[in-house]
Homo-oligomer: A and B are copies of this chain.
Amino acid sequence: MQDLPQLLSQIQQYAGDQPFPATPPELYEPCAYMLELGGKRLRPALLLMACNMYQPTINAALPAAWAVELFHNFTLMHDDIMDAAPLRRGKQTVHTRWNLTTGILSGDVMLIHAYRHLASTTPTSLVPELIQIFNRVAIGVCEGQQMDVNFETRSDVSLEDYIHMIELKTAVLLGGALEMGARCGGASTTDAEHLYQFGRLAGIAFQIQDDLLDTYGDPEKFGKQVGGDILQNKKTFLVLKTMEVAPAADQQALQTWMQTGPETDGVAKIEAVRALFDRNGIPNLVEAAKHDFQQAAFQHLDAVTLPETQKSVLRQLVENLLVREH
Partner-B contacts on A (CB < 8 A) = 21, 23-24, 26-27, 78, 81-82, 100-101, 104-105, 107-109, 111-113, 115-116, 118-119, 124, 127-128, 131-132, 134-135, 138-139, 142-143, 145-147, 149-150
Contacts and interface: CB of A to CB of B under 8 A. Distances in A.
A210 B111 CA distance: 30
A105 B149 contact: yes
16 contacts: A21-B143, A23-B143, A24-B143, A26-B150, A27-B142, A27-B146, A81-B104, A82-B105, A104-B104, A108-B142, A109-B139, A109-B143, A112-B139, A112-B142, A113-B139, A127-B128
A81 B109 contact: no
Contacts of A108: 78, 107-108, 111, 142
DSSP class of A's interface residues: helix, strand, loop or mixed?
helix
Copies of this chain: 2
B109 A131 contact: no
Given A21-B143, A82-B104, 16 more contacts: A24-B146, A24-B150, A78-B108, A81-B100, A108-B142, A109-B139, A111-B111, A112-B135, A112-B138, A115-B115, A115-B135, A116-B135, A119-B131, A119-B135, A127-B128, A128-B128
Contact of A78 (B82, B104, B118): B104
Contacts of A142: 27, 105, 108-109, 112
B104 A26 contact: no
A177 B104 CA distance: 24
A128 B145 CA distance: 29
A132 B23 CA distance: 20
